[in-house]
Amino acid sequence: MAFNPAQKRYNKRVIGLSLLYAALLLPAVWLFKHHMVTGPLAWVVAILPALPIVAIFAAIGGYIVEETDEYQRMLLIRQTLYASGFMLAIITVWGFLESFDMVGHIPAYWASVLWFAGLGLGRCVNRFTEGNWS
Amino acid sequence: MNNRLKVLRAERNWSQADLAERLEVSRQSVNAIETGKYDPSLPLAFKIAALFALPIEAIFSAD
């Protein structure tokens, strides 16, 4: 499959940010596991792994802006709408269940995990309605 | 919206990829427009019309 310049830039950014995420997460987990960080430094170390994830959201926004093929852009926007709806629905239901002590607590970053899973779902919807994986 | 894109393309012996290259869009875009799954924006419709040297209404028509 051939990628256009906007898709190549997006892929490069996401791969780089994913590697950065792993590079920041592993030391953070290790440092906290061994109780080696406290105070303001602990805040910095805890926040650092989240930043590449936030940057991936920005990269997706950047790709939507930079994509010159309007049909591909429409497919991507539809994918992100499915992702948002999927994540919000599950988080909302889970939140109520949690409030009524029906289920356990889940960390808030699961919203991002569900959103990325929703992107995959949106891609499948595009495939089955448009015959297009993009 | 209906369109005559497939017919116009066939008259010139262009593949979907040929047309996509001339319009600077993906082959999937051409396919989606031809099959009526996607209606192009006005700028893209003008670009298609200019490529075939036809008025927009000679290519696209309402259902």
Query: Is this prediction's ipTM beyond 0.85?
Result: yes
Distant-in-sequence, close-in-space partners of A101: CB < 8 Å, separation ≥ 6 = none
When CB atoms are compared, the residue of B26, B40, B44 closest to A72 is B26
Query: In this structure, what token pair is assigned to residue A37?
Result: 């960080």
Distance CA A33, CA A72 (A): 44
Q: 0.90 exceeded by the pTM?
A: no
Is residue B55 within 8 Å of B34, Cβ to Cβ?
Answer: no
pLDDT tens-digit profile of A71-126?
999 999 999 999 999 999 999 999 999 999 999 999 999 999 999 999 999 999 99
| Average pLDDT across chain A, whole number | 94
Per run of 10 residues, the mean pLDDT along chain B (length 63 residues) is 94 96 95 94 97 96 84
CA dihedral B14, B61, A128, A18 (to 10 degrees): 70
Asked if B29 and A69 come within 8 Å (Cβ–Cβ), the reply is yes
pLDDT at position A132 is 63
Residue among B24, B28, B41 whose CB faces A134 most closely = B28
> Which residue is closest to A3 within chain B, CA to CA?
B26
Tell me the chain B residues in contact with residue A4 when contact means C-beta distances shorter than 8 Å.
26
What's the confidence (pLDDT) of residue A133? 59
- Please give the helix or strand (H or E) that residue B57 lies within, else none: helix B56-59
Contact state of B26 with A4 under an 8 Å Cβ cutoff: yes
